[in-house]
Amino acid sequence: MDGASYESFEDFITASADRLMRTAFLLTGNRHAAEDLLQGALERTYQRWDRDRIVTPEAYVRRVMVNAASRRWRSRQFFREVPLDAAAEKADASSAPELGLRDQVLRALHELPKRQRAVVVLRYYDDLSEAAVAEILGCSVGAVKSHASRALARLRTSQHLGDIRVRSERGH
**Smallest Cα–Cα separation from 3: which of 60, 71, 56?**
56
Contact (Cβ atoms closer than 8 angstroms) between residue 19 and residue 1:
yes
pLDDT of 108-159, one tens digit each?
A: 888 899 899 999 999 988 889 999 999 988 999 999 999 999 999 998 888 7
- Tell whether the model's pLDDT for residue 13 goes beyond 90: yes
| pLDDT tens per residue, range 25-51 | 988 888 898 999 999 999 999 988 877
Span 77-84, mean pLDDT?
A: 47
The pLDDT of residue 167 is 45
CA-closest candidate to residue 110, choices 132, 82, 137, 84: 82
pLDDT at res. 164: 54
Going by the DSSP 8-state scheme, the letter that residue 54 receives in this structure is -
Q: What angle do CA 22, 25, 31 make, to 5 degrees?
A: 115
Say whether pLDDT at 163 is over 90. Answer: no
- 56 vs 59: CA distance, rounded Å: 6
Which pLDDT score, from 0 to 100, does residue 170 have? 45
The C-alpha R_g of the chain, in whole angstroms, comes to 17
Domains delineated in the chain: 1-83 (no CATH), 89-172 (1.10.10.10)
CA distances from 17 to 34, 39, 111 (A): 12, 10, 26
Asked if 66 contacts 137 with a C-beta cutoff of 8 angstroms, the reply is yes
What gap in Å lies between CA 30 and CA 93, rounded to an integer? 13
Q: Tell which wins on pLDDT, 4 or 146.
A: 146
